Amino acid sequence: MSSTPPNTTRARFEGKAVVVTGAAQGIGAEVARRISAEGGRVIIGDRSPLAKDVVAEIEERGGQAHFFECDLEQFDGAATLAEYAVSTLGHVDILINNVGGTIWTKPYEQYGVDEIEQEVRRSLFPTLWGCRAFLPHMVERGQGVIVNVSSIATRSINRVPYAASKGGVNALTASLAFEAAAKGVRVVATAPGGTEAPPRKIPRNDGVLTDQDHAWYQQIVDQTVDSTYVKRYGTLAEQAAPILFLASNDASYITGTVLPVGGGDQG
């Protein structure tokens, strides 16, 4: 195993205290690895103990990382994560809110009321709670960066509740950035498009998928590829790089921006 992932430096996050949520797999795990490779001290907040594997990988490469198990769909989970991060690292420079992901994929009229509520709780509330829990600490210090991970799926098919949740993340990013800029805190977001990733370690839901479920999901794949200019899914590295840029001092004059990372699809 190489000492660092490819295309990284040691400069941008040297000594920075960074919290990454939802980093047991996928984009979040890639972000945590790369921030560590560039010198950051990382805390992963996730409700899955599988995040310990990412911490172990970071430590094997010589980085510093910690795992804190918490349910970020509840404010208490975000609040205890913030307390743990400050007590462990001394302060928090950067928060990356990455928890989210559509649970079901089907036409809107097929969703149950409870399913709609679960989708919003999964893909909007963790970012709302994360911002609320960490913001007072950053305001008190007069500095900090919050990077929210949204989605270009604000315009897509077969996942309307998820789209509405990510639209909320976009609005939160713009409005909070307006409030927080004078207090020294930047708030930005990326909006990933379709992303190639290893098979999920944690299923989005526990249900058995029918042929119809597979067909509805394939419609999402087809629409996603058709909507991009480059006609392909992105890679984890291609999604992590813009997140790291926005989190770094290279983006010090950028706030309130939601950056689409969807091969040309603007969402």
The CA-based diameter of the chain, rounded to the nearest angstrom, is 53
Query: How far apart are alpha carbons 140 and 121 in whole angstroms?
Result: 28
Cα dihedral 157, 159, 164, 165 sign = negative
In sign, the C-alpha dihedral spanning 200, 69, 130, 162 is positive
Q: Which of 84, 108, 111, 162 is catalytic?
A: 162
Give the position of tokens 């079901």.
Answer: 104
Report the Cα–Cα distance between both ends of the chain, in Å, rounded.
37
CA distances from 182 to 79, 178, 187 (A): 24, 8, 12
Tell me whether residue 162 is one of the annotated catalytic residues.
yes
DSSP, collapsed to helix, strand or coil, labels residue 164 as helix
Which positions are catalytic?
A: 162
